Amino acid sequence: MKLYDTARQAVVPFEPGPVVTMYTCGITPYDATHLGHAATYVTYDVLQRRLRDRGHDTRCVRNITDVDDDILRKAREIGVHYLDLAAAETARFDSDMKALGMLACWSEPRATSAIADIRKMVGQVLDRGYAYQSGGSVYFDISAFDRFGQISHLDRPAMLALAAEHGGNPDDPNKRDPLDFVLWQKSAPDEPAWDSRWGPGRPGWHIECSALALRELGGTVDLHGGGSDLIYPHHECEAAQSEVVMGEQFVRHWMHQAMVRMDGAKMSKSLGNLVFVSDLLKEYDPRAIRLAIVSHHYRDSWEWTDALMPEAAARLDAWQAAAGGHSDTADGVLDQVRARLDDDLDTPGAVAAIDRAVATGTGALASAAALLGVSL
Ligand code: ZN
């Protein structure tokens, strides 16, 4: 199997051992699941299905960020405890994922379950000389880590722009360098706080994923995923702090899902251009939602349009009608779908192979579609 690796900037062989360890960044549960989330998790679901089909065992960890700036702000706005908001939104997310037929995660830990692991890790980064205390918070010192930029390959101005856009607070006066990032942050008076040897505070944005990946998977992770908007700063920072502590490579292969756009811009809560999975589920078969997603390649950013769902629903109907009349023993189309998925998870190519089999009335349609998570 070959997959594009963000860090190496090339399609390279992905040849894990019998057990494949995966970590994908999960949601901050403060609002409903939108199509961008669904596209990301469908991609790693299809990858896991093909890896299992190839005989691997997969262990995919997906965290739940139940304490961060976004969830605390929303909880304050609507006047509920942040953990009650997290519990309610996590339940809605789980129900959407289940409806979409996603494989269950091997583990789905919450950030607040990892405070002890996080404090230990922050202490290790400090003790090794890669961090400093300032203004009641602890910051990673990027000048001490010479591989900073190894994943994103961005220059300093591009990093500064993204840090400003994604809550990296480059203007924080407590930092020595605007690109230094917070490991442990002093809590505001109305925010949750945990005791630590640096004073009461809460985890920085990136540290939970490092702590949870290490705790749950125990060493270098085979594949780390997430949306492409996480490459910088989130994944660059995760890798830096993890490698300081682990003394070895954090991740062998970085795989990122491109953004789903709507009205010409990335689908995002801040712009409000969102399509919610729960709304689509009221009108469409969940398998059609998967088909609308997998008819696009995970590395291509694509535009959500109103035509997509009717088109996907018609494709599902055609596949289902054809599946009944097909022998499921002839495996030509199954081989083609496997070959397409092994070529950088070419799901549009796999969909096209099944379309051809449907048109010509040959092949093991149900087994081929099952690799895309579509049960006929
Ligand atoms: Zn993460």
Q: Ligand 1: distance of its center to the CA of 349 in Å?
A: 30
Q: Which residues surround ligand 1, an ion (CB under 5 A)?
A: 25, 209
Same domain, residue pair 257 and 322: no
281 in a domain, yes or no? no
Mean confidence (pLDDT) of the chain: 95
User: Residue 269: pLDDT above 80?
Assistant: no
Same domain, residue pair 209 and 329: no
Q: Ligand 1: distance of its center to the CA of 314 in Å?
A: 36
Q: Ligand 1: distance of its center to the CA of 67 in Å?
A: 13
Q: Ligand 1: distance of its center to the CA of 264 in Å?
A: 26
274 in a domain, yes or no? no
Same domain, residue pair 292 and 257: no
Same domain, residue pair 114 and 196: yes
| pLDDT 10s digits, 126-139 | 999 999 999 999 99
| Alpha carbons 175 and 142: distance in angstroms, whole number | 11
| Amino acid letter, residue 32 | A
**Residue 22 pLDDT grade (very low, low, confident, very high; cuts 50, 70, 90):** very high
Q: Ligand 1: distance of its center to the CA of 127 in Å?
A: 23
Write the DSSP assignment of 260-298 as a string of letters: EEETTEE--TTTT---BHHHHHHHS-HHHHHHHHHTS-T
CATH number, domain containing residue 58: 3.40.50.620
| Alpha carbons 297 and 347: distance in angstroms, whole number | 6
Number of domains making up the chain: 2
pLDDT (mean) for 291-309: 96
Same domain, residue pair 107 and 178: yes
Q: Considering only CA atoms, which of 302, 327, 367 is closest in space to residue 49?
A: 367
Same domain, residue pair 120 and 246: yes
| Alpha carbons 167 and 153: distance in angstroms, whole number | 20
Same domain, residue pair 227 and 328: no
Q: Ligand 1: distance of its center to the CA of 338 in Å?
A: 29
**Residue 363 pLDDT grade (very low, low, confident, very high; cuts 50, 70, 90):** confident
Same domain, residue pair 233 and 319: no
2 in a domain, yes or no? no
pLDDT at 328: 54
Same domain, residue pair 43 and 121: yes
Q: Ligand 1: distance of its center to the CA of 209 in Å?
A: 5
Q: Ligand 1: distance of its center to the CA of 237 in Å?
A: 10
Q: Ligand 1: distance of its center to the CA of 91 in Å?
A: 20
Percent of the chain with pLDDT over 90: 89
Same domain, residue pair 208 and 159: yes
346 in a domain, yes or no? yes
Q: Ligand 1: distance of its center to the CA of 183 in Å?
A: 13
Percent of the chain with pLDDT over 70: 98
30 in a domain, yes or no? yes
Range of the domain at 317: 286-297+305-370
Same domain, residue pair 181 and 317: no
User: Residue 270: pLDDT above 60?
Assistant: yes
Q: Ligand 1: distance of its center to the CA of 362 in Å?
A: 43
| pLDDT 10s digits, 66-106 | 999 899 999 999 999 999 999 999 999 999 999 999 999 99
Q: Ligand 1: distance of its center to the CA of 81 in Å?
A: 23
Same domain, residue pair 250 and 321: no
Predicted model pTM: 0.96
